[in-house]
Amino acid sequence: MIELEIVGVRVEMPSNQPLVLLREARGDRHLPIWIGTAEATAIALAQQGVIPPRPLTHDLLCDVVKALGRSVTGVNITAVEDGVFYAQLVFDDGTVVGSRASDGLAIALRAHCPVHCAAAVLEEAGVRISDHDEEEPDAIDSPEADERELRRFREFLDEVEPEDFEK
């Protein structure tokens, strides 16, 4: 399994379809996943540190897991079939529960746990958006580097279609 980081959420125009972009923690591949509006909102709110006045569904699930004395220790993206991504929530006692990738990502942000991806999924659906070799290693995690990466991602999105990810 390969560790991924959640870069952010964007709404693709003109289709108005949201997607989340992940990147290899130690590599240059990115994984774009088209997701639903509710999940895009849940991911974006968690990334921004927004705490809603009442729990959203993903907040509720995390609260229930905690109340039961358990914790989510990881989210694994395990498969992609016909453009649909499958994931698993991994709990501290070893229990594994199937999940949509988008829900898993929203939960991972709230549970502050790592996201991993099967190598075969990244091989099939991953893309190279930018060349990090041109950047200084210490500058990759800076806000400026994140902004450059998001700009490159937007440029990439201007040219890509969902069909590009089909085999």
What is the amino acid identity at position 63?
A: D
Look at strands 72-81 and 115-117 and give their pairing: parallel
pLDDT in tens, the chain (167 residues): 999 999 999 888 788 889 999 999 999 999 999 999 999 999 999 999 998 899 999 999 999 999 999 999 999 999 999 999 999 999 999 999 999 999 999 999 999 999 999 999 999 999 987 554 444 443 444 556 666 666 666 666 666 665 555 54
The H or E element containing residue 147 is helix 143-159
Distances (CA, A) of 110 to 9, 18, 57, 73, 113: 16, 20, 11, 11, 8
* pLDDT attached to residue 37: 92
* pLDDT attached to residue 16: 84
* pLDDT attached to residue 145: 60
What is the phi/psi pair of residue 43, to 5°? -70, -45
Q: Which of 56, 60, 43 shows the shortest CA–CA distance to 103?
A: 43
Q: Which two tokens stand for residue 126?
A: 């991953």
Contacts of 62 (CB under 8 A, 6+ apart): 72, 107, 110, 111
**What residue ranges define each of the domains in the chain, with the CATH number in brackets?**
2-165 (3.10.690.10)
Neighbours of 163 (CB within 10 A): 7
